[in-house]
């Protein structure tokens, strides 16, 4: 299963970076000189990147086509890799910026904002699925009560990782929420680890430590790999963490470099040169490579080295879109319709598309199924955004604007 970002993934994680809300002006926070040492660009690199929003739209389109017409895009699940990397990048740069501005990170405020961003819309989806299961005979929603319980506490990925054979029906109606579990478990652990690194070590050591952490999941996958461990590797947070950490590594690296640093020019040049090839390779994988099927040696390579390789491609794209907003790819992805959908609807599209697929399949819809899925999913995403997500996002921003300015990190 692939995921749109809650963002990572996937979901629009960048929403929490807004400094102001409607009718609320955020008071300036004092800069902590000691905290800012080593991260001179952290605060300046917190604005929206419209190209990333457009990339979300591109990726969520792959997700929908993959689930409706898997023969057309057998490798469309690669979109989850892209979303994980985006999520790791956005979350990390926001955390570092808060540390630099305030001299600490309010972890409870961070977790509260994550809850307001993700959970209300997810609970609404779970409620609808349970209602359909209890009031209709639609086979696509059988077992929704158990699936909803697992999804609501972000444990779908854990259950799927423990199933050695074919996936059971335990999570089927909401199986796509496995990636939300991966991201939420990462969000629970990574801020703690990052805060520890920021408070104990210099910026260079933080960067090297993040890079080292990117390698550990690869080594762990190599230890775990057998064909029977495919579900364990595909759904595990520990085995997919390098894709989120790749985005985190980009955020740490860019926060360390001043605008006049020659290394930044080098990154800007090479990320721009490699952006189109990276996007082309990701598209080729989506088009030609059935990453969730058993293909012998190729599958072993994919489930070990391939996951990190795709994370590197995704990180290259993220770097180029951040540093080169004026180039052709950035301007294409930043087109208003693409950026608006990615910014506001990507999470809702991801949440609703898979239940819509199951609904149409239960009703026996064959002709025009892809078009029907797109239309109905967009309608549900719009309803979710305006009726649920937007009001809760406003509450999160108000709380962020009015919250106390901590002198040190709080847990």
Share of the chain above pLDDT 70, in %: 86
Residue 1 confidence (pLDDT): 47
Task: List the structure tokens of 232.
Answer: 């364990």
For range 260-269, the mean pLDDT: 91
For range 163-176, the mean pLDDT: 87
Task: List the structure tokens of 43.
Answer: 């605060």
Residue 166 confidence (pLDDT): 81
For range 99-115, the mean pLDDT: 90
Residue 289 confidence (pLDDT): 84
Least confident of 48-52, 149-153, 187-191: 48-52
Stronger pLDDT, 392 or 33, i.e. the higher one: 392
With 0.75 as the threshold, say if the pTM is over it.
Answer: yes
Task: List the structure tokens of 36.
Answer: 């800012």
Residue 5 confidence (pLDDT): 46
**For the chain, what is the mean pLDDT?**
87
Question: Residue 259's pLDDT band (boundaries 50, 70, 90)?
Answer: confident
Q: Could you read off the pLDDT of 347-382 as tens digits, one per residue? A: 999 999 999 999 999 999 989 999 999 999 999 999
Q: Could you read off the pLDDT of 28-57 as tens digits, one per residue? A: 444 444 545 588 888 877 678 899 999 999
Residue 174 confidence (pLDDT): 95
For range 261-283, the mean pLDDT: 94
Question: Residue 209's pLDDT band (boundaries 50, 70, 90)?
Answer: very high
């Amino acid at each position: 299963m692939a995921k749109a970002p809650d963002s990572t993934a996937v979901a629009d994680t960048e929403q929490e970076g807004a400094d102001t809300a409607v009718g609320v002006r955020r008071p300036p926070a004092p800069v902590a000189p000691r905290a800012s040492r080593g991260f001179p660009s952290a605060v300046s690199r917190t604005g929206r990147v419209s190209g990333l929003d457009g990339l979300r739209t591109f990726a969520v389109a792959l997700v929908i086509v993959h689930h409706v017409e898997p023969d057309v895009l057998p490798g469309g699940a690669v979109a989850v890799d892209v979303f994980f990397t985006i999520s790791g990048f956005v979350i990390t740069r926001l955390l570092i910026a808060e540390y630099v501005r305030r001299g600490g990170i309010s972890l409870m405020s961070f977790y509260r904002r994550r809850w307001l961003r993700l959970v209300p819309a997810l609970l609404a989806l779970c409620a609808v699925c349970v209602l359909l299961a209890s009031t209709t005979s639609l086979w696509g929603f059988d077992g929704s009560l158990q699936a909803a319980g697992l999804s609501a506490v972000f444990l779908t990925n854990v259950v799927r990782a423990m199933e050695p054979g074919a996936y059971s029906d335990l999570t089927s109606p909401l199986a796509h929420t496995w990636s939300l579990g991966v991201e939420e478990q990462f969000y629970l652990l990574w801020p703690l680890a990052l805060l520890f690194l920021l408070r104990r070590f210099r910026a260079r050591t933080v960067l090297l430590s993040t890079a080292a952490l990117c390698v550990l999941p690869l080594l762990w996958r190599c230890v775990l790999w057998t064909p029977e461990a495919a579900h364990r590797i595909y759904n595990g947070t520990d085995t997919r963490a390098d894709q989120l950490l790749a985005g985190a590594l980009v955020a740490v690296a860019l926060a360390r470099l001043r605008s006049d640093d020659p290394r930044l020019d080098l990154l800007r040049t090479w990320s721009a040169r490699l952006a189109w090839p990276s996007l082309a390779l990701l598209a080729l994988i989506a088009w030609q490579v059935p990453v969730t099927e058993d293909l012998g040696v190729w599958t072993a390579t994919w489930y070990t080295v391939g996951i990190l390789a795709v994370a590197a491609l995704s990180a290259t794209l993220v770097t180029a879109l951040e540093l080169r907003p004026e180039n052709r790819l950035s301007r294409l992805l930043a087109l208003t319709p693409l950026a608006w959908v990615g910014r506001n609807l990507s999470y809702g599209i991801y949440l609703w598309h898979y239940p819509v697929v199951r609904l149409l399949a239960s009703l026996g819809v064959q002709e025009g199924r892809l078009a029907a899925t797109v239309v109905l999913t967009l309608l549900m995403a719009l309803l979710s955004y305006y009726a649920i997500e937007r009001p809760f996002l406003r509450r999160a921003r108000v709380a962020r604007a009015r919250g106390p300015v901590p002198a040190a990190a709080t847990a």
